Chain A
Amino acid sequence: MERRELLGWMVTTGGLAALNRLSTSDLLSLGRDAHVRAVASPVTAPALDARAAAIVSAAAERIIPATDTPGATQANVTAFIETMLGGWYAPADRERFVAGLVELDARARELFTRAFVTCDPSQQVSLLEEYDDAVSALRGAQDTSANAHWFAMLKYLTVWGYCTSEVGMRELLHTWPMPMRYDGNAKVGA
């Protein structure tokens, strides 16, 4: 449901109309105000230089590629990852992450004699699969450091950023956060 539809639903609900002291324009501004306040909180400057950001974008697009639905690039996952690295993670986490990107790029040059971002998609996939396998091996060995591995961070942030993005929720997941009804026995896919 679109925000406009949501607000429309709210104003046309009988019970809500009884909320006196609240004009229709107040109500319509309600969602917009909350939105502005939510995005207005200060966020630290981007945590990645242009080269690192390009590697993140390319890798994220391989993790969640565009298919018949948008991929990580269209969901602007890199901006979310930069916000998290700059404003959420500890400096040591960010340094480990950036060191991982440097290592990935070096590995691309070693195997394919070119930068990761200029590798073709199948080469990028094979490079990333090495790291995905390494993380899986750590998890298989019950190694508690698995989630701190730079690639585990990249993949988790890519999934989180994509699945909480507007295009991701709308186009892939079909889970709008406010369906405005409850059905505890709905058909899957319906």
Chain B
Amino acid sequence: MSREVTVYDAIVVGSGMTGGWAAKELTALGLRTLVLEAGRPISPERDAREHVAPFEMPFRGLGDRKHIDARQTVQQKSVTFDEMSHQFWTDDIDNPYTTSDTRRFDWFRSRQVGGKSIIWGRQAYRMSDLDFGANARDGIAVDWPIRYADIAPWYDTVERFIGVSGQAERLSQLPDGAFLPPMAMNCVEQHVQSRIAAKYGRERVLTIGRAAVLTTAMNGRAPCHYCGPCHRGCSTRSYFSSVNATLPVAQATGRMTLRPFSVVRSLVYDATRRRVSGVRVIDMRTGSEHSFSARIVFLCASAIESARLLLNSVSPQFPNGLANSSDQVGRNIMDHIKWGGATGQIDGFDDRRVIGERPNGIYVPRFRNVSAPHPDFLRGYGFQGGAGRSGWDAAARAPGLGAAFKQRLTTPGPWSMSFAGFGEMLPRATNRATIDPTLKDRWGVPALHIEAQWSENELAIHRDMGVTASELLDAAGARNIRAHTHGPSTPGNANHEMGAARMGRDPKTSVLNGWNQAWDVPNLFITDGAFMTSSGCQNPSLTYMAMTARACHHAVQELKRRNI
């Protein structure tokens, strides 16, 4: 067994949404940085598939079902999984985990350079003090150690680099950002927007989604050309991903070493110095083991994977997992509850249609528990959605054949408008990942057992989504309004898993301090979604990125002061 030992200033575990930011910031601040990625290298030019036409795919977009059913039983449940994007999700046989039948959890994972930043939904929203103050106000879990003023300048930094298109709305619960020009709403969305504004004023606002997709050229990246399937990769680098934006900048400093095929097995703890001294890595292709050392370590492996790494790093000082004296590692897993909402038909626009595929929808920022308390639940939800007309796919199950049937395929269906909610999930210690006693992944690393369940608060939020979405459609003058009848999504299915190593104000009840720094191990930082103390209802990636950039600057400052 070969053992390669090399010393760096910093090690970043993971190369996705937050790993790319850690790489960019730490190298910019002068640190020789090793980025470890468990998967293969990806380049937009070589691996993007967004321009493959349906007739160029063997299954015409329906996916290689037999392969997928055999190897990707969990991953295929993600909304951005398709015949061309399946390559950007893990193999569930090689990367197993267990869950419980009654407390199921969908764990979506990526192992390649770029991680899940390649297949994310690109919605980019700021959290506000309505969110950062929520736990303290409600007496739930623990208080966030930060407030909006702490993160606001870092939101600016991130938005100015990644490019977020959107419309300023001056809403306290959803702060505006440094926006590129907004994408256009279609004619029916504009109609619905004005009708909702007439009825609800500033209480319920419909705006265009805030998306990390360029509407003007920026930093060498081209504006979006509206081809549609972003999750297959983007050869023009128009949407933000680490391979499209942060990693190239880190590479250009000459201080980044990016090592793909590197499965991190555990962290090494130096009990004398009370610091993490490095990581143990298994080479995915050869199985050989390597050790790397550094002055600081950033975990950016994704929220639950980072918890797994800590739980798998046991030592006499930390028998329950590294940095886990609080026993909070693996606990308080959150996601967003989905699948509540409504759809209705809008008349009067039959001579209008949409050309192009806008990689973005509309957004209705949270309006529950903003100014007045709701009797049934804490917190709230936002709506995503949009308007469109059905095409030939709706006619495929219609009766008839021959020339008349063929003609029907070309006739667009009625306009329909949909709202789909994303609701806040309260943190609970029992929603938890633990090391499975027997199961290991293909590389011999102990796998996780994950259990999660909605509480009555989330279920009440889910029920309310159908009610208020119907009210919005009614205000818009829609016909045939149908509240969505399916039950809530499985926890994890929103692909917004977070928590599992929360930040707080007290080392006894939290894993990280307000700088994403482990209370127990001062040179260890966790900046993926694991740090989240509460979930908000906003898509969370923008917050992860801002907190990563902030933590990097703090870590380097502490290094310079010789505090770590």
Contact = CB atoms under 8 A, between A and B. Distances in A.
Interface of A: 3, 6, 9-10, 13-16, 18-20, 22, 26-27, 30-31, 33-35, 38-39, 41, 43, 62-65, 67, 69, 71, 80, 83-84, 87-89, 125, 128-129, 132-133, 135-136, 139, 147, 152, 155-156, 159-166, 169, 172-173, 175, 177-188
Interface stretch (B9-17, B173-181, B396-404): B396-404
Contact of B54 (A43, A133, A169, A180): A169
Given A18-B217, A87-B59, A188 B46 contact: no
A36 B55 CA distance: 12
A182 B183 CA distance: 9
A146 B62 CA distance: 20
A163 B392 contact: yes
Interface string B216-258: 0110111101111000000111000000000000000000000
B183 A155 contact: no
A184 B186 contact: yes
B396 A159 contact: yes
A183 B220 contact: no
B193 to A, nearest CB: 12
Nearest to B392: A163
B185 interface: yes
B54 A159 contact: no
B401 A125 contact: yes
Nearest to A151: B401
A67 B218 CA distance: 48
A125 B53 CA distance: 32
Contact of B58 (A31, A39, A160, A186): A39
B84 interface: yes
A67 B405 CA distance: 12
A186 B406 contact: no
A84 B59 CA distance: 7
Contacts of B53: 3, 166, 169, 177-178
B391 interface: yes
Contacts of A159: 392, 395-396, 409
Contacts of A31: 51
B57 A139 contact: no
A95 to B, nearest CB: 16
26 contacts: A6-B51, A14-B217, A14-B222, A15-B214, A15-B220, A15-B222, A18-B221, A20-B220, A31-B51, A33-B46, A34-B49, A35-B52, A64-B409, A65-B402, A83-B59, A88-B66, A164-B54, A164-B60, A172-B409, A172-B410, A173-B409, A175-B391, A178-B227, A178-B228, A179-B356, A185-B187
Given A64-B405, A87-B66, A155-B401, A182 B61 contact: no
A136 to B, nearest CB: 5
Interface stretch (B309-317, B346-354, B543-551): B346-354
A71 B186 CA distance: 33
Contacts of A80: 60
Contacts of B353: 186-188
**A39, A175, A184: residue with the most chain B Cβ atoms closer than 10 Å:** A184
Nearest to B184: A184
A52 to B, nearest CB: 19
A38 B64 CA distance: 12
Instruction: Tell me the dominant secondary structure on chain B's binding face.
Output: loop
B356 A64 contact: no
A181 B355 contact: yes
A182 B357 CA distance: 7
B401 A128 contact: yes
Contacts of A35: 52, 56
Nearest to B389: A188
B45 interface: yes
A180 B227 contact: yes
Contacts of A186: 352-355
Contacts of B228: 177-178
B399 A136 contact: yes
A120 B22 CA distance: 70
B45 A30 contact: yes
Contact of A10 (B59, B236, B391): B236
A185 B354 CA distance: 6
Contacts of B217: 14-15, 18
Interface string B58-76: 1111101110000000000
Nearest to B351: A188
B221 to A, nearest CB: 7
Nearest to B396: A159
Nearest to A175: B391
B211 interface: no
A67 B45 contact: no
Given A83-B59, A173-B391, A181-B226, 7 more contacts: A19-B221, A38-B52, A38-B58, A41-B64, A64-B405, A87-B59, A177-B228
Contact of A87 (B56, B58, B184, B357): B58
Given A14-B217, A19-B220, A30-B45, A184 B62 contact: no
Contact of B189 (A10, A182, A184): A184
Contacts of A125: 401-402
Contacts of B62: 84, 88, 160
Nearest to A84: B59
B412 A188 contact: yes
**B214, B218, B397: residue with the most chain A Cβ atoms closer than 10 Å:** B397
